[in-house]
Chains A and B, each alone.
Chain A
Amino acid sequence: DAMVIQNPRYQVTQFGKPVTLSCSQTLNHNVMYWYQQKSSQAPKLLFHYYDKDFNNEADTPDNFQSRRPNTSFCFLDIRSPGLGDAAMYLCATSSQLVKPQHFGDGTRLSIL
């Protein structure tokens, strides 16, 4: 019954080793978002896709990239993870930008 699915739930990577996090949705929503959430902090929007249109936040580091090959899937690529990138990464979807967002359970990323 899960509607926004993130894999894996936990990911460990080495400093500087590229990593990809994935998100899929069964809601057929137009918008998919990626957030970074560090411990006891607010989720911070990295970027979002409205259909195929990519919208990057001004303060998102170039190290973070995203792909949306189709409506259902969206990927977060971290090209060269640093220790500061250790966080929970949350994927969310919504039918429109003004509508409530549906979140996955996140991927907790650890950097060794």
Chain B
Amino acid sequence: SQQGEEDPQALSIQEGENATMNCSYKTSINNLQWYRQNSGRGLVHLILIRSNEREKHSGRLRVTLDTSKKSSSLLITASRAADTASYFCATLTQGGSEKLVFGKGTKLTVNP
């Protein structure tokens, strides 16, 4: 069953604006990861945040994690047309066999 749920399902913004995507999950996690998928391509890992971390940055990406609310957000600042893609959060379950469970994703469109 799905662990992560992204919100919104689709987001359309203008180049230069910031994009925020949210992810909620249900059970305890080891870490939470964000991936990008361009149309017809494989997924590309963006950033990993551990369960004991609250915020992480990588270039124009900022990820937050609130384990008490079981939620995470991905912020892309100063978006570019090349950021157009689907973004997935994925949670690594804890205990027993670790596996990555993906949410349904947010489809981001950045208009030039």
Contact = CB atoms under 8 A, between A and B. Distances in A.
**A and B found bound together:** yes
28 contacts: A6-B42, A42-B103, A42-B104, A42-B105, A43-B43, A44-B102, A45-B99, A48-B99, A57-B99, A90-B42, A90-B43, A92-B42, A97-B92, A97-B97, A97-B98, A97-B99, A98-B92, A100-B33, A100-B45, A100-B48, A101-B43, A101-B45, A102-B45, A103-B35, A105-B40, A105-B42, A106-B40, A106-B41
B102 A43 contact: yes
Contacts, number: 52
B13 interface: no
In this complex, which of A40, A44, A98, A105 has the most chain B Cβ atoms within 10 angstroms of its Cβ? A98
Interface residues of A, number: 23
Nearest to B94: A98
A75 to B, nearest CB: 17
Interface residues of B, number: 24
Given A4-B42, A100-B45, A105-B41, A45 B100 contact: yes
Interface of A: 4, 6, 40-45, 48, 55, 57, 90, 92, 97-98, 100-106, 108
